[in-house]
Structure 1
């Protein structure tokens, strides 16, 4: 490695004795040393590189005239922390000032190298993703739901990014957040960059070698209780299509994860997606016909005497209102997966509050029975969704087949 010039070494020695706040100056000195070594390597093969000292009033043109035959001196003071005393020059075997194009080439090499050094200081990508979602949605809770993390995780990621950048990106007023001026500017650039990355990933996933792969995503409960018993018929009809089934309790970013079609439960409104209603839904109590030796409650008011079960996103209160009984929300056995809830009911563990869409096959097979002929509306419906304007041919085949299957087997 080339030795640093005397002026640079002296500068580093003097800066090393200063307060800790001068560590950035020390790093700048080390960067100067590395740049000098890089430029010396550029000078191999007939060129000679040297690092010289520049006077405080020198400019590029003045240096050319004052040091004729010694090469052109580049004025780089204040450029990304490089001290004004450090300038770069070189000459050929027959010394003469460099032409403007040659000086620009050297300066471009310097800029490129310094830029590469700076790009290693990118903020953590997880913080950028959390910030972009929060900035776009204007709400930490909605951002947390979109990328399947907690509200606290979004808050911590945004604060970590703000510490990394050294500036506030949001104004915080209780639960309400708004972007600062710096935050708005940064959000535009980060959002654009992440969209470009997503589009590039989408194009790669849609390459010729993947044209016969169909990726779908849905809740584990819907996959287990409704989709899988039927999906085999689609695969028999389209044997050349490889189906990749992805299950998740959280919302999946369809473009980022290369998903062709999603079966989602909700309102049908998701940013960047097109959706068509697939199955309406409703809630009602179900139990195994063998539960409690077949002695099931005769009236809704008697439910309070039995072991009740539910999923973590559905409550008994709406059904109690529909049944016109005054029962407080019970301390139920709660499941985060509705498929496990129904399996517990099939095994006689209790009475479950079930959605029709995932209970209908068990009802038809006699593994479960409805306890009362009373239903409450669900909080949403089942939708087929795909990236806006990007419905692949295979996804269109599956969408149309699912709609036909729904009509053949009404819920």
Structure 2
């Protein structure tokens, strides 16, 4: 197939997208500062190039065909990415573009956000837009500049800065677990074990490290967010196995107690970003600040 047929001109694509969004050639023309007939001709040219009817026309009224609706869905997202890339490029030239950061939700709310005031004090001209992500999605590759994730540090094509090692600790509400100080690892099998869906094997690994049988586990409720698991543990619903850095406040306040010694998960918290973004001024400022932060004993 002729490649030109697969790459219509930007002018006809914009005319089609505006017409589809408004459901009107007239309103699309007003938005694009063109005449109604000019927009209509551009859409007709696109239909002729594709050899597909994109609109059904009844008098002055237009409606997307099934093919047109599918095309508009894909095209609108593509045009949005192009516009976003253009804005980022313009902002990069000006040196004041915002940073789009994807961050683990609980880490973001419990650790990073309370410290962001220090970042803004040091870099008052830089904006960081934070997006909660349990795991990066495919579309994030084009929309996010950087990620704070947990892993082993191996992300091909990315720069990875290790922030701290991850240790996991068993926590429980002292009020809901009398005699917690004398518990042994074997006693844990009598308790409801709280878990997060992103760590399906965490308890199994802990039991194995302590020489316990997996069949002895008594699994309790599961949660999507670690923050919700922590709240459930504070409420006495069960006991949790969580990153120590995320429960230090609750342990310090006495809402939770740590049972046994923390264990190394073999993973770490990392700031990562694609190499194509490493010259962004906002990312450079944020990276320099984050790497200067003194992380507590995890």
- Which residue in the other structure is 1:353 paired with? 241
From 99, 107, 112, give the equivalent of 1:214. 99
Q: 1:113 to 1:124 in 2, by over 3 A?
A: closer
RMSD (Å), alpha carbons: 3.4
Larger radius of gyration: 1
Secondary structure of 1:239's counterpart equals: coil
Taking the aligned partners of 2:229 and 2:290, their CA distance within structure 1 comes to 25
Secondary structure of 1:325's counterpart equals: coil
Cα deviation for residue 285 of structure 1 reads 0.7
Cα deviation for residue 286 of structure 1 reads 0.9
**298-307 or 361-370, which deviates more:** 361-370
Q: 1:357 to 1:295 in 2, by over 3 A?
A: closer
Taking the aligned partners of 1:117 and 1:373, their CA distance within structure 2 comes to 68
Cα deviation for residue 370 of structure 1 reads 1.2
From 145, 148, 153, give the equivalent of 1:268. 153
Q: Report whether the alignment pairs 1:205 with 2:92.
A: no
From 311, 331, 339, give the equivalent of 2:196. 311
Q: 1:58-96: CA deviations, max 9, x gaps?
A: xxxxxxxxxxxxxxxxxxxxxxxxxxxxxxxxxxxxxxx
Taking the aligned partners of 2:142 and 2:88, their CA distance within structure 1 comes to 10
Higher relative contact order (CA 8 A, sep 6+): 2
The residue correspondences of 1:27-66 to structure 2 (distance < 5 A) are none
Gaps of 5+ in 1: 1-109, 130-193
Q: How many residues align?
A: 235
- Which residue in the other structure is 2:211 paired with? 324
- Which residue in the other structure is 1:5 paired with? none
Normalized per residue, the structure richer in strand is 2
Taking the aligned partners of 1:248 and 1:309, their CA distance within structure 2 comes to 21
TM-score in terms of structure 2 length: 0.66
Cα deviation for residue 210 of structure 1 reads 8.6
Alpha carbons 2:100, 2:145 under 8 Å: kept: yes
Alpha carbons 2:192, 2:218 under 8 Å: kept: no
Q: Report whether the alignment pairs 1:377 with 2:265.
A: yes
Q: 1:215-264: CA deviations, max 9, x gaps?
A: 2111212112221222222122222222211112331444522x232101
Secondary structure of 1:316's counterpart equals: helix
- Which residue in the other structure is 2:49 paired with? 115
Q: 1:115-156: CA deviations, max 9, x gaps?
A: 165484579469979xxxxxxxxxxxxxxxxxxxxxxxxxxx
Alpha carbons 2:220, 2:238 under 8 Å: kept: no
